Structure 1
Amino acid sequence: MNKTTPVEIGIILYSGAQQSAVLGLTDLFNMANRIAINDHRSNVPALRISHWQTQDPDVPPHRTPDSCPEAPPGQLMALILPPSLNTPMSVQEAAHLAHWLRERHAEGIILSSVCAGAFVLAATGLTDNRRMTTHWTHADALQQRFPSVQVDTDRLIIDDGDIITAGGLMSWLDLGLQLVDRLLGSAVMLETARMLLVDPPGREQRYYSVFSPCLTHGDAAVLRVQHWLQASGAKDVALSTLAAQARLEQRTLLRRFQKATGMTTTEYCQRLRVNRARELLQFSTTTIERVAWEVGYSDTGAFRKVFMRIVGLTPSEYRRRFGSATT
């Protein structure tokens, strides 16, 4: 592409789109464009931002009159489905927009989503057998509605080249910076992040999500075990103890537990323990060794390894970032 040709990022104003994210993304991209221009970066194209209206299902999405007010549109390079505070759109509601997005994707345009926008993007079928993320509270619904999608809500942003998905409501910041990096370069992206006083891309959603186990699976025996583990803090995780609580044979429990919860008993207990450890790290000044002991680990090294795998930060890093207790 000729560097003198402006590039354009389109933001889709679908029904229920969060207006603060639409305006925030617009401001972010305009700031990145000004930084590139003011620094006289001759090798960086100008950036245009457009808004695309989709309210009428019988009319294809179109640029709104306020799009690119200071200059003609550029070469459309990416489209963004912003987050929504409403219930995610159904497959039927998203059908007309999904068809249009598939056509744009076939033209080489990057498609991206934030939070509940993932449901519209998944309705295109373009994310089948591919990884994508959304807000962690939407993970189960997205997986159930689109079983061929590999939902990974540990990740705040997944850049898969032609498809980029971002997790929580405010991860539009991360997506915006990711697109600036892709289209204007890392130098402009880092300067934009500094001006906005935000971290550059690289955070992970699992730093913030909490373990919310499925309790509506209908298996009463497994549910007894879950309630007992919750009440006991998962201190005793011996399979024989769990089987006794369930009143099942051990092999039967293992099979039914994984079917009901989607996890092995070991994985489930680790997540319960780490959830409790996060509270202790955030709201107390208890030593890491004592936190490990409190949640059921006699080996602090093993605790650190499990915590790092699940949260993505070491216990010390987690406390430095999120701790609120005073010493």
Structure 2
Amino acid sequence: MAGAPPPPEIGLLAYPQAQLAAIHGLTDLFVIADRLARKRLGKSETLLRVSHLSLCETDGRVVRTFDTSPGAGGEPVVVILPPSLGDPAAGENRAGLVDFLKVRYAAGTVLASVCAGAFLLAETGLLNGRAATTHWTYADDLAQRFPDVQVDTNKLIIDDGDIITAGGLMAWTDLGLKLVDRLLGSAMMIETARFLLVDPPGREQRYYSIFSPRLGHGDAAILKVQHWLQKAGLRDITACAMAAKAGLEERTFLRRFRKATGLKPTEYCQHLRVDKAREMLEATTRPIDQIAWDVGYDDPGSFRKVFIKVIGLAPGDYRRRFGAETTSAHSP
């Protein structure tokens, strides 16, 4: 009678300058999930295997340097590329890793990345034509280096079935829980999240990202308007007024503005207004309707719709999550 198949293995790829905190944190998360699952099911055998994978310098193979089930055989069902602490676009000594990832993907392994790990994943070409996320500060770099990748940093995780990308530096917790859900079930995912005191997956990266306008595009007329918008306040700003400030005919201005910034002027102003509103929601107890007025909206309802569209949370929910504590409201 054949022996039991090996437990599903999650391989953590320790490429050069990979963040060790994420590798060890994910290891702990999966080990805890395995322990909780075995306790719940009354089983003694391992249900989830974790390994660390590194490129061997002598023969160029990717080998296990750590394994919670040594000698179990089989290959990883998931390989995770953790964040990088170095230049995310650095490509030194990656050819062997890229080849390994392609081979594993062709054999049915799910590939996953966290934060800057998306750059190494994109080098395989497997993200071409797909949506992917990374840390919001790396979005432009990833899009410029890999133009065939549809970069979307609004989302913290994009699960495309056989490829999963996660955004922020600490999004490995979200990715880890999503994989626990996939491999051990939702009940164990919730129990693991509860044990670790972390939120289950469902957050969005746009809750945390700050609007960073493109300023290095080289169009002096558009840059002049961008600087003006930062200083002038945003009430009663029109495309006509912006075009006049740029010294351009309006149609020409609209075309050049979108090419330079990646946004229509109305969208750009919305992002600026929402960013100012976020600062007020975080740092003050000013009423939301007053904040709407202060950042240029006459209609509080319109402000709320735009805020939700850009941030993914209503202004009140954003304040409850990120605002300063208002202890004065509870004072005697």
Contact 2:56 2:63 in 1 (8 A): no
Equivalent position SS for 1:169: coil
Alignment of 1:276-287 (within 5 A): 276-287=276-287
Aligned to 1:111: 111
In structure 2, do the counterparts of structure 1 residues 70 and 54 end up closer, same or farther at CA, with 3 Å as the change threshold? closer
How many Å separate the matches in 1 of 2:42 and 2:263? Answer: 51
CA contact (8 A) 2:6 2:72 kept: no
Instruction: Tell me if structure 2 keeps the 8 A contact 1:283–1:325.
Output: no
Q: How has the CA–CA distance of structure 1 residues 309 and 77 changed in structure 2, closer, same or farther, with 3 Å as cutoff?
A: same
Q: In the alignment, does 2:168 pair up with 1:168?
A: yes
Determine the structure 1 residue equivalent to 2:33: 32
CA RMSD after TM alignment: 1.8
Structure 2 match to 1:261: 261
Deviation at 1:98, TM superposition (A): 1.2
Q: Report what 1:196 is aligned to.
A: 196
CA 1:57/1:265 → structure 2, altered by over 3 Å: closer, same or farther? farther
Q: Secondary structure at the match of 1:112?
A: strand
Amino acid in the other structure paired with 2:124: T
User: 1:231 is aligned with what amino acid?
Assistant: K
1:321 matched residue in structure 2:
321
Q: Distance in 2 between matches of 1:137 and 1:313?
A: 21
1:31-52, Cα deviation, whole Å (9 max, x unpaired)? 000011000167x971010000
> Deviation digits for residues 244-291 of structure 1, max 9, x if unmatched?
110111001000000101111011000000000000111000111001
Q: What residue number does 2:233 align with?
A: 233
Distance 1:18 1:3 in 2: 34
Residue number in structure 2 paired with 1:136? 136
8 Å CA contact 1:11–1:81 kept in 2: the answer is yes
Q: Deviations over 1:130-184 (max 9, x none)?
A: 0000000000000000000000001101110000000111000000001111111
**Number of residue pairs matched?**
324
Measured in 2, the distance between the counterparts of 1:213 and 1:132 equals: 21
In the superposition, the TM-score normalised over structure 2's length comes to 0.93
Greater shift, 199-208 or 47-56, is seen at 47-56
- One-letter amino acid matched to 1:284: T
Q: Distance in 1 between matches of 2:58 and 2:191?
A: 40
CA contact (8 A) 2:11 2:51 kept: yes
Which deviates more, 239-248 or 142-151? 239-248
Alpha-carbon distance in structure 2 between the residues aligned to 1:131 and 1:168? 16
Q: Give the 3-state SS of the residue equivalent to 1:170 in structure 2.
A: coil
Shift of 1:95: 2.7
Instruction: Return the TM-score normalized by structure 1.
Output: 0.95
Q: For the Cα contact (< 8 Å) 1:174–1:201, is it kept in 2?
A: yes
1:249 aligns with 2:256: no
What CA deviation, in whole Å up to 9, does each residue of 1:181-214 have, x standing for no partner?
Answer: 1111101100000000000000000000000001
Change (3 A) 1:58 1:295: farther
Give 1:313's aligned amino acid: L
> What amino acid is aligned across from residue 51 of structure 1 in structure 2?
H
- Given the superposition, is the C-alpha separation of residues 245 and 48 from structure 1 closer, same or farther in structure 2, using an over 3 Å criterion? same
1:176 & 1:90 partners in 2: Cα distance? 25
- Counterpart of 1:99? 99
